[in-house]
Structure 1
C-alpha cells in the first residue's frame, strides 16, 4: 500500500450527507476529507498538509491550525479540534494496518467479500496510549494529550475491523470515529495510486495565515 502512494476513500454517512477523501503518503503524509450536503451542495472540508490542519466551509474560507504550535489555551482538554485531528489517523488505512499489525490484538474473522471482491476480515484493538505514541513526530507533544483524550471519549482502546484484499490492500475498515458518540463507521478504499494530490488551501482563502 505504501508503494501505491495514495488512496481514495468514502465514508458511510447519514443522509443528506456524503463524505469522501484522499490520503497521500509518497513524500509526506497529507490528507483531505470533504463532507457534502446533498440537497444544497454545502461542503465542510478538512485538510492536513505540512504539519498544519485546515478546516473550511464552502463560501467561508479556511481556518489554519498549526499542529505543533498550540497555546496552553488550545491544548489539552480545551483543544476542540482534537477529535477532528484524530480522525485523520483513525481512517488512515496505512497507519491503522501498521499499528494494529505491530501492537494490536488481531483476530481473523473469516473470508468475506467487499463490493464483490474477495477479502479477509480481521478485528483488532490497540490501547489509546500506544496508538497516539505510534503517531510519533507527525503529532507534536502540544497536541498528543488532547488527541488521546478525544480517543478516550470512545473507550480505552482504538478498535478497528479490516477487510484485506488479495494484494494486501485495505478494501474497507469499520472504526469508531472520535467525532461521533457511538456506533462504528464504515470506510471504503479504492483507486490506490490514482488519487489526486492534496495541497494546502490558496493563501488568499486562509483566514488566519499565521495560525
Structure 2
C-alpha cells in the first residue's frame, strides 16, 4: 500500500460525507423505514463508520501476514497516529527478524546483527528487501508503507471507491461479526489517496499494471460497537496471488504504546 490519507484528511472527508447526506455517519444506524422497522445500513456506511471509529481511537495493535509467490512475511506490534506518530513492530521477511520503530515520521529498521537502516514516511519503501525492483519514485509493493499506515485508511479507500457487498455474519474470535467484500480498479483505489502526487500515483499504478494486476480486492470484518477487526487485501497478477491479512485490536484512547527504548 502506498501512503493513504492522513488522519486529519480522513476525518474531514468522513465528516463532509455526513454533512452532505444530512446526517452523521453514526446517525445512519438509526434510519427507519416508513413501516417503523430499522432500515438496512449500506455496507459502505458501515465500513466508513468503523474506519472513523478506529481513526478516533488513535492507535491499534496490528498483526499482519502477507503470503504470495515471493514467500511469507509477518509483522506484529503497536501503531499510533494523529498527535502521536509512533510505532513498534517486529517484522519477519527475506532478511530475517527485525525491529521496526516509528517516531515523528522517522523510521528505523534493525535486523539482528546488522546496523539499523533509516528512512522517513516518504521513503519507507526503501527499507523493503524488494526495493531493488521498485517502480520509479521508489514504490516496491507497499509492504512497508502499509505497516505504518492507520488500517482504517485502507478500509476507507475501499469504501469510497469500490463496490462493497455483505457476506452476512460469521464468528471471529468467538464474536459474531459482519463480513463485507469489495474490489476497485488499481487506479481508482490508489487515487483515493489525496496525498499522492500525479507522478507518484502514475508510478504506483504502473507497478501493478506491469505485474498484470488490474484490481484490488478487499474483505473487511466489522464487530459490535463498529469495531474494525480485520482486513484482507487480495492482489491477483501474472505471477500469482498475494494475500495480506491484518488483524486489528484497537487500543484504549491515549493508550498507544511508544516504541521500545524511548
TM-score (ref. length: structure 2): 0.57
Q: Secondary structure at the match of 1:135?
A: coil
Identify the residue that residue 173 of structure 1 maps to in structure 2. 231
Are the structure 2 counterparts of residues 81 and 186 from structure 1 closer, same or farther at C-alpha, using a change threshold of 3 Å? closer
Equivalences for residues 1-211 of structure 1 within 5 A: 1-12=54-65, 19-27=75-83, 30-36=86-92, 43-47=97-101, 49-68=103-122, 76-77=135-136, 79=138, 81-88=140-147, 92-137=150-195, 139=196, 143-152=200-209, 153=211, 155-176=213-234, 182-193=241-252, 194-198=255-259
| Residue 114 of structure 1: how far off its partner (Å) | 0.9
The structure with the larger Rg is: 2
| Residue 198 of structure 1: how far off its partner (Å) | 4.7
Q: Do the aligned partners of 2:230 and 2:248 also contact (CA within 8 Å) in 1? A: yes
Can you list the C-alpha shifts for 1:138-177, whole angstroms capped at 9, x where unaligned? x556654443344443721221101101111211112237
In structure 2, stretches of 5+ residues that fail to align are 1-53, 126-131
| Residue 8 of structure 1: how far off its partner (Å) | 0.4
In structure 1, stretches of 5+ residues that fail to align are 203-211
Higher helix share: 2
Are the structure 2 counterparts of residues 141 and 62 from structure 1 closer, same or farther at C-alpha, using a change threshold of 3 Å? farther
Identify the residue that residue 3 of structure 2 maps to in structure 1. none
| Residue 86 of structure 1: how far off its partner (Å) | 4.5
Cα RMSD, aligned residues only? 3.9
Q: Do the aligned partners of 1:34 and 1:46 also contact (CA within 8 Å) in 2? A: yes
Are the structure 2 counterparts of residues 7 and 58 from structure 1 closer, same or farther at C-alpha, using a change threshold of 3 Å? same
| Residue 135 of structure 1: how far off its partner (Å) | 2.4
Identify the residue that residue 208 of structure 1 maps to in structure 2. none
TM-score (ref. length: structure 1): 0.68
Q: Secondary structure at the match of 2:194?
A: helix
Are the structure 2 counterparts of residues 125 and 47 from structure 1 closer, same or farther at C-alpha, using a change threshold of 3 Å? farther
What count of residue pairs does the alignment treat as equivalent? 192
Q: In structure 2, what is the Cα distance between the partners aligned to 1:84 and 1:184?
A: 11
Q: Do the aligned partners of 2:87 and 2:257 also contact (CA within 8 Å) in 1? A: no
| Residue 110 of structure 1: how far off its partner (Å) | 0.7
